[in-house]
Amino acid sequence: MSRYYGPKVKLSRSMEAPIAETPKHVTARRGKRPGQHGRRRARHSLYGLQLREKQRIAYYYSIRDNQLRHYIQMASSYSCSNQEALQEILESRLDNVIRRLHWARTIWQARQMVVHGHFLVNGRKVNLPSFCVKQGQVISVNKPSRSFVQQCVESAEEVGFRVPDWLSVDKEKLQATVLHLPKLDEVLLPFEADYGRTIEFYTR
């Protein structure tokens, strides 16, 4: 599965779940899927259910199929359950952390901001969206980018989700600290995600 570049709201309707937390995605449900045959009720086999869960998670975190497969392989080496490990890996990606801090409105904006080098981790510029933060690391804004990021923060205020407890943020300094890696009950997605089915899709 390649990265999706088409209409984002149409994607949310197709997945029957808000892929982003912005109001137009949360209210995108219209009782039917997009397209000519959208009124027909979808029938999913076990494979179809696993595929749908895999697609929802991949689109929500804006990652490719081979990346998700790699993360599942990584999760199998963790001491905790595979589902908890997979969620920890996905949540600790730098682009997702920027979204959780409300320094970007969507995961797509956060990814672009990271690629353009607007952020520092422990004082060093990081431009890899897949970079996974660790406990105790400090995320800050590159000085030349402060005014731009501040504008992005203001535009992200319409997303009414709070900063999770595993992150501490100083809004004045535009600086955040990773208090600890996210636990299973600290991750709030805008839809119910079944990580078990996603893992089953790759291990069947």
Q: How do the domains of the chain map onto residue ranges?
A: 8-90+190-203, 94-181
Count of beta carbons in the 10 Å neighbourhood of residue 37 = 9
Identify the architecture of domain 8-90+190-203 in CATH: Orthogonal Bundle (1.10)
Fold category of 94-181 in CATH: 3.10.290
Distance, in Å, from the CA atom of 190 to the CA atom of 169, rounded to the nearest integer, reads 22
User: Whole-model pTM?
Assistant: 0.87
Closest CA to 122 of 96, 149, 94, 144: 94
Distance, in Å, from the CA atom of 33 to the CA atom of 36, rounded to the nearest integer, reads 9
In this prediction, residue 40 carries a pLDDT of: 59
Q: Tell me which residues of the chain have a pLDDT lower than 70.
A: 1-2, 28-43, 160-161
In this prediction, residue 88 carries a pLDDT of: 94
Which amino acid makes up residue 49? L
Count of beta carbons in the 10 Å neighbourhood of residue 96 = 26
In angstroms, what CA-CA distances link 138 with 83, 129, 152, 168? 26, 16, 20, 9
